[in-house]
């Protein structure tokens, strides 16, 4: 198991507190012995404290925030992470959406001594293809998925749904649309994550001040950051798996993104 110190960060308000409680239960059921810190930002600290007790493996920290609607819950994500910087004890920060379900030990807990790169992202399960032959195999194995992905490729310039309005700070030129990552799970060393969050918070604020909401909110800004000259590592969506997606055949689910009403998977 990993010798790295981890801090998990999750944000849960309203009904998402139930999602997060279920996520934490699924994590604990894995029996992971690596000690972690889990920072929870919620509008119901009392209820979370009543349900969750720290132990030798998971040390919880709770931070009260106001109830967040949509899309503020995602647009303010980077600001909220920065607000708990002083509480973070781990050398590696892992951001996890509240609606994740653990079914196997996640990849990042199997790392030994060091990360593969300062920043690690998860390829989006809705657009994941291992290689070009994977796309061709879908043409006869799952023609509807093949046509969906082919349409996306033609319209977007790649397999993903990047921000396409130059008026947004999350805009990415077609020539730079190479990889599309999901916003539900990402991690990296403490300095790199905090630096990234500062940059993305500032850029989301610029958009908000101009009345602009990026196409897929925090995820659009995260994908903009990936298009800049940074050192990063990409993981297949085993840690943000979407059940029922034929393009993920061959992958082993480790963490599953639970389907929800406002999902765009």
Q: What is the DSSP letter of 254?
A: S
- Of residues 197 and 137, the one with the higher pLDDT is 197
pTM, 2 dp: 0.92
Query: What tokens does 39 get?
Result: 């920072």
6-257 CATH pick, 3.40.50.300, 3.30.1490.20, 3.90.550.10, 3.30.230.10: 3.90.550.10
Q: pLDDT tens for residues 130-174? A: 888 888 888 889 999 999 999 999 999 999 999 999 999 999 999
Q: Which of 111, 92, 101, 147 is nearest to 239 (CA)?
A: 101
Q: Which of 149, 6, 24 is nearest to 88 (CA)?
A: 6
Average pLDDT, whole number, for the chain? Answer: 91
Confidence of residue 93 (pLDDT cuts 50, 70, 90): very high
Could you tell me the residue ranges of all domains in the chain?
A: 6-257
Averaged over 225-247, what is the pLDDT? 95
User: Is the torsion defined by CA of 117, 78, 66, 86 positive or negative?
Assistant: positive
Confidence of residue 113 (pLDDT cuts 50, 70, 90): low
């Amino acid at each position: 198991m990993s010798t790295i110190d981890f801090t998990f960060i999750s944000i849960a308000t309203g009904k998402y507190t139930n999602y997060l409680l279920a996520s934490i239960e699924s994590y604990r059921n894995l029996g992971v012995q690596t000690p972690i810190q889990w920072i929870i930002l919620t509008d119901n600290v009392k209820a979370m404290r009543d349900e969750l007790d720290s132990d030798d493996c998971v040390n919880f920290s709770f931070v009260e925030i106001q109830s967040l609607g949509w899309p503020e819950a995602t647009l303010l994500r980077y600001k909220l992470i920065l607000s708990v910087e002083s509480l973070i004890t781990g050398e590696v920060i892992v951001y996890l959406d509240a609606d994740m379900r653990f079914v196997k030990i996640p990849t990042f807990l199997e790392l030994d001594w060091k990360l593969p790169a300062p920043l690690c992202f998860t390829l989006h399960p809705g657009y994941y293809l291992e290689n070009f032959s994977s796309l061709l195999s879908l043409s006869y194995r799952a023609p509807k998925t093949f046509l969906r992905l082919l349409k996306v490729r033609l319209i977007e310039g790649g397999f993903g749904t990047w921000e396409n309005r130059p008026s947004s700070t999350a805009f990415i030129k077609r020539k730079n649309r190479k990889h599309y990552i999901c916003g539900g799970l990402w991690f990296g060393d403490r300095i790199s994550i905090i630096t990234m969050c500062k940059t993305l918070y500032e850029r989301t604020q610029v958009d908000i001040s101009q009345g602009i909401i990026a196409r897929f909110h925090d995820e659009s800004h995260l994908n903009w950051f990936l298009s800049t000259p940074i050192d990063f590592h990409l993981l297949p969506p085993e840690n943000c798996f979407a059940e029922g997606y034929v393009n993920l055949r061959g992958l082993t689910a480790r963490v599953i993104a639970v389907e929800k009403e406002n999902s765009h998977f």
